Structure 1
Amino acid sequence: MLDGSSSEKAKRLDGGTLFDGKFGNKEPAPGNVERLPVSGAMGQGVTGREQATSLDPAADAAGDIDSDAAHLLDGHSVNMDYTPGHELASEPGSDTIDVDLNLSDTDSALGMSTASSTFSLRDSVYEYIEEYGRTYHAYKAGAYHVPNDEKEQERLDLQHHLFRMTMNGSLFAAPVTNLRNVLDIATGTGIWAIELAQEHPAARVIGTDLSPIQPAFIPINCEFFIEDCEDEWNFTRQFDLIHGRALLSCFSKPRTVIASIFSALTPGGYFELQDICFPCKSPDGTLEGTSLQQWQTLMVDGLRKLGKDFEKVKEYGTYMREAGFVDVVEKKYTWAIGPWIRGKKQKLQATWWAQNFLDGIHGWSMAIITRGMGWTPEEVEVLLAGVRDDVSNYRNVHAYVQMYVVYGQKPL
C-alpha cells in the first residue's frame, strides 16, 4: 500500500546553498522553497547516462518478440549526429499516412532487416516503493504511475533520442534567442537538461523530478532538485525557457501547472511541451479487435479513474492561450508502431518507437490497469503478451501515435 506523505517537503542538505562545482564556491538556492539537491555539478562532457551515447536499430532474428527480448534495435549501430547537415529531414505529420505495401524482410529504406522484430540524500528519498517486480518513486509516492528503475531509465534515454531525431536534432522548437536560465520539469534521467547545458554553456539549467535518478557527474551549469511541479512554485529567478516532455500521465491539474509556468517565465520567455497523444490510431482499420486496442482503452479509462487523462495532450495549446501565452504554435508528428510506414526517416522512427513501446509497456501498464481498473497483475501480464504479439505483427497491424510539439511565448 502506498502511503507516502504528500505534505513532506524535500530538505536541502547545506542550509540553503548548493555546491556549484567550483571548489569552495556556494550560491543561494534558486528558490525559497526547501529543495533537495540530487546531483552536484561535478564536471563537463558527460552526456547523461552512459548507455545513451549510441543506439542500435535492427531486427530480432529470433522472430517473436517477447517481454524481455524485443530487440528491434539490436545488431546495427546508429550514432546520432545532431550537427547541421547530418540530420534526416522531418516535417510535421499530415492526416494522410501511407502504408508501405512493398515491405520486405530486408528494407532498403532502413538499411537493415525487419524480419521481426557524492551527495547523501535522506534515506526516505531512495527507499523506493517495490511493486510488480519494479521500483517506483518514494517522494509523493503514488503520484506518478510509471517505474523509476534501471530498465525504465534506459527506455527514457532511448526515447530522448527518438524525440531529437524527430526534431532534426534540436532539443526544442521555440524560437528562443537568449538562453540564460532554463527549467526542465519532470526531467527524468536528466538527459535533456544535461545536453542543453552542454550545448549552451552560458545558460544555467535546472531539472526537477520526483525521482533522484539523474547522474552524479554533470556539466557545471546544470543542477537537479526533487520537486513536484504540481506544488506551489517559489523560484526566485525567472526563466527564458521552461521545457516539459512526455508528461501525459503526470498532471492531474494541467491548467494550474501551466499558470505556474507562465508566472515563472521572464517576459518574452517561452514554454514548450513535447508529448505523445494516446490512444493509438490506424490509417486502415487494422487496429480493430486487437489486444493493442483493448490495452489502450484500459489505459485511457484507468488513468482517468486515477485523476489524469492521456488525451489532455490535445488541449495543451488551449491551456496555454487561457494562461496568457501568445503566438502559440502546435506541430504534430507521426510515430508508427513498427516500420510499416513509408519513408526512410519514418521507418527508422517507427522502429525506435516500437522498441521503446515494447520496453515500456510493462511499466506503463501495471499500476494504471491494476489500480485504475481493478485487474490482477496476472491478468495484465496475459493482456500484455497479446499486445506484444500485435506490435511484432506490424505487417498486419498498422498503428501509430501522434507526437505533439506545442510552444508559446509570455508577452513582453
Structure 2
Amino acid sequence: MSRAADAVPGTASENATRTESGNVTEQAVGSVPAPGTAPDTAPEPVIDQDVVIAADDTDVTEDDSSDRASSRAASTSSVAASILDYRLENGRTYHAYKDGKYSLPNDERENDRLDLQHHLFLLTFNDRLGNAPPNDPHATVGRVLDVGAGTGIWAIDFADEHPESEVLGFDLSANFPEYTPPNVRFEVDDLDEPWIYSQPFDYIHSQMMNGSISDWDVHAKKSFDNLSPGGWVEMNECNIKPECDDGTLKEDSMLLRTVQLVQEVSVKRGRPAMDMKGLKNVLLNAGFVEVRLMQYKWPTNDWPKEQRYKEIGNWSHENAVSGWEGLCMAVLTRGLGWTPTEVIVAMAQCRKELKDRTIHAYYPLYSVYGRKPTEAELAEKSYCPWENTVTLNLARWCLHLVDDLAGGDRSVRNRTAGLIASCCDVAIAGVLFLCDVGSVVYSAKSRKRSFGSPLKKAGTLLAACSSLYL
C-alpha cells in the first residue's frame, strides 16, 4: 500500500535482554533456532529502548540544510494514465488510485520528506537498511518485497547492496525513479487487495505504514503466506503521538490536541493509528518465530545533550514538521470540516512546539521482525503457531496436568498435543481441550477411578468432536 502516515502510539518498552553502549535492548521470542548464523562482523543495531535522553541546556544552533532534491519520473512506462491523474487539494497533490486510502500528499515536497525520512532511518539503525538478518553484511537474499515503497529509495538502496536479489516495490502512488538498478522493479498496487505473486519472497519489508493499514493481523498473515519457509518479515513503525519523560510536553499542547483529532478521524475512516508496540504479538499470532521487537526514540528537535540524539533530533524535526502539516491538512479538512486557514493556524502552533527546545518530547519508533518457520519445523507435530502466547502457555499447563493424571501415559499426551498443533481455530481447540481435562477431573473425583481409562476415552471423544469443526 501507499507510504503510511508517520504514526503509531506506543509507550512502555519490551523486556530487554541485550544492551549496547549502555543503551539497550531487544526481546527475542520463539524457541526455533535460525537457519544459519549471522557473520561475526555484523554490526549490532543501536537501540534506544529505556534510555532517558539528557537535555542540552545550551542555545539552539541551526544545522546547515542538505540538498536532497532529486529528479523523478512521473511513473514507469507501463502505468496507466488514469493512475497518474492525481488529486489537487489545498495546494497539495494526493494519489487518485484508491482515493482516500492514504492521507499524506504525493507531491515533490512530500517526496523530498520521504527521502529525508529514509536518511533518518539510516541514522537510527546505524547505517543499516533494517534490523532483520537479510540486512547483515554478506547476507545472500533472493526475492524481496518492499510494501509501501514510496519514492523507491529503500528498494534501490537494498538492490545496490544486494545485486543477487530481485527487489519488487509497490505503492498506491507512482512516484518511482525513472532510472533504477536492473534488479529492481516497481508496481502501483493496493496492499488491501489479494497478493498474487508467481513466487514467494525471502524478505518482506515495510516502514511507516501506520494509519494506512486497516487490519494488521490480516496484513501479517498475507506476509506470512507470501514468504518462503525460513523467510523474514520486518516492519518499522513510528507512533503518531509524541511522548515525554520529564513532563515538559503538556497535555493541552496544540501538538497533542491535533494528534487526538487525527487519531479519532483515522478510526472513523477504518485505518486507525495503532500502538505499534503491539506488532510483536501480531507477528506471533500470524505464526512467525524468532520475533524481536526493538524501540528507538526520535527527539522532536535537537534538545538532547548527546550528539547522536541531537543529530537524530535535527532530522526528526524536519521530518515531523513537514509530515504533520501534510497529514493534518487532508485529515482535518476532510474528516472534521476544518478550513485550510484553520489548519494553517493550528500547524503554526504545532511548529512552534516542535521547535521549542524546552519541550523534551520524542516519537517512539518500533522495529519488529520475525521468521517464517522452515518446512521441517512446520511439519513437526509439536510446532504451534501460537507459540509464546497465553494460549500456548495454557496448553502447556494442561499437558502437564494430563501427564500427572495419566500417570505417564504418553499416548494420551501425544494425542492431545497433536490436536492442539493441528487445530486452526485456537478458541475451539482451547474449549474442547479444557472440556477433556474437566471431564477427567470430574470422573476421578466422583468415581474414585484411575485416570488412564477416562483420559483415553476423553481423548478419543475430543478428537472426534474436533473433526466436526476442522
TM-score range, shorter chain: 0.7 to 0.9
User: Does structure 2 conserve the Cα–Cα contact (< 8 Å) formed by 1:230 and 1:253?
Assistant: no
Corresponding residue of 1:215? 177
Partner deviation per Cα, 1:208-252 (whole Å, 9 max, x = no partner): 001110001000000000111111111111111000011012101
Mapped contact 1:182–1:205 kept (Cα < 8 A) = yes
The letter for the 2-side match of 1:94 is: Q
More off after superposition, 151-160 vs 315-324? 315-324
Q: Quick one: which amino acid aligns to residue 246 of structure 1?
A: M
Question: Which region of structure 1 is more displaced relative to structure 2, 242-251 or 168-177?
Answer: 168-177
Show CA shifts across 1:134-188 (max 9, x none): 1111111111111100000000000001001110111121113430100001000
Matched, 1:383 2:346: yes
Q: Aligned AA for 1:301?
A: E
- Specify the code of the residue in structure 2 equivalent to 1:372: G
1:98 maps to 53
Matches of 1:184 and 1:141 in 2, distance apart?
Answer: 21
2:283 paired with 1:320: yes
Q: Which residue in the other structure is 1:167 paired with? A: 125
Structure having the higher helix fraction is 2
Q: Secondary structure at the match of 1:278?
A: coil
- Per-residue Cα deviation, 1:74-132 (whole angstroms, up to 9, x for no partner): xxxxxxxxxxx9x9x9631233423324323459xxxx689xxx715322111101112
**Corresponding residue of 1:197:** 159
Which runs of structure 2 are paired with 1:70-85 in the superposition (5 Å)?
none
* Alpha-carbon distance between aligned partners in 2 of 1:300 and 1:132, rounded to the nearest angstrom: 21
Residue type of the alignment partner of 2:211:
S
Letter in 2 for 1:181: R
Which residue of structure 1 lines up, in the alignment, with residue 307 of structure 2? 344
Aligned residues: 319
Q: Secondary structure at the match of 2:242?
A: strand
The aligned residue for residue 298 of structure 1 is 261
Aligned to 2:192: 230
Structure 1 residues 408 and 90, CA, compared in 2 at 3 Å: closer, same or farther? Answer: closer
Give the whole-Å Cα distance in 2 for the aligned partners of 1:410 and 1:187.
Answer: 22
Contact 1:302 1:371 (8 Å CA) reproduced = no
Structure 2 counterpart of 1:143, from 97, 101, 111:
101
CA contact (8 A) 1:97 1:341 kept: no
2:60–2:302 Cα contact (<8 Å) kept: no
1:13 alignment counterpart:
none
Residue of structure 1 aligned with 2:330, choices 349, 359, 367? 367
SS at match of 1:162: helix
- CA shift, 1:342, in A, is 2.6
Matches of 1:193 and 1:219, distance apart in 2:
10
TM-fit CA distance, 1:314: 2.1
Contact 2:54 2:305 survives alignment (8 Å) = yes
Amino acid at match of 2:95: H
2:241 corresponding residue in structure 1: 279
1:206 aligns with 168
Does 1:129 find its partner at 2:84? no
SS at match of 1:143: coil
- Report the Cα distance in structure 2 between the residues aligned to 1:406 and 1:305, rounded to whole angstroms: 27
Larger radius of gyration: 2
Matches within 5 A, 1:17-28: none
- Give SS of 2:239's match: strand
Q: Which amino acid aligns with 1:103?
A: T
Q: TM-score, normalised by structure 2?
A: 0.65
**Aligned in 2, Cα 1:105/1:141: closer, same or farther, shift over 3 Å?**
closer
Q: Secondary structure at the match of 1:315?
A: helix
8 Å CA contact 2:211, 2:274 repeated in 1 = no
Asked if the contact 2:49/2:294 (under 8 Å) is kept, the reply is: no
Please say if residues 243 and 273 of structure 1, whose CA atoms lie closer than 8 Å, have aligned partners that are also in contact: yes
For normalisation by structure 1, the TM-score amounts to 0.74
Match of 1:335, SS? strand
Q: What is the root-mean-square deviation in Å for CA atoms of aligned residues?
A: 2.1
Give the structure with the higher percent strand.
1
CA distance in 2, matches of 1:101, 1:264: 47
Residue pair 2:300, 2:355 contacting (<8 A) in 1 also: no
AA in 2 matched with 1:273: M
Note the residue ranges of structure 2 that are not aligned, 5 or more in a row.
Answer: 1-40, 66-75, 375-470
Question: Residues of 2 paired with 1:397 and 1:235: CA distance?
Answer: 48
Q: Does 1:261 align with 2:231?
A: no
Aligned CA distance change for structure 1 residues 407 and 398 (closer, same or farther; 3 Å): same
State the 1:376 CA deviation.
2.4
The sequence identity of aligned pairs, in percent, is 37
CA distance in 2, matches of 1:377, 1:305: 21
Assess if the C-alpha contact under 8 Å between 1:98 and 1:342 holds in 2. yes
- The reply to whether residue 250 of structure 1 matches residue 212 of structure 2 is yes
* Structure 2 residue identity aligned to 1:98: I
Q: Deviations over 1:288-312 (max 9, x none)?
A: 1221121211122221122122224
Q: What residue in structure 2 maps to residue 3 of structure 1?
A: none
- Contact 1:178–1:240 (Cα < 8 Å) also in 2: no
User: What is the one-letter code of the residue matched to 1:379?
Assistant: E
Question: What's 2:147 paired with?
Answer: 185
Q: Which runs of 5+ in 1 are unaligned?
A: 1-84
Question: 1:273 Cα shift?
Answer: 0.5
Distance 1:241 1:90 in 2: 18
The residue type equivalent to 1:370 in the other structure is: T
Separation (CA, whole Å) in 1 of partners of 2:359 and 2:167: 42
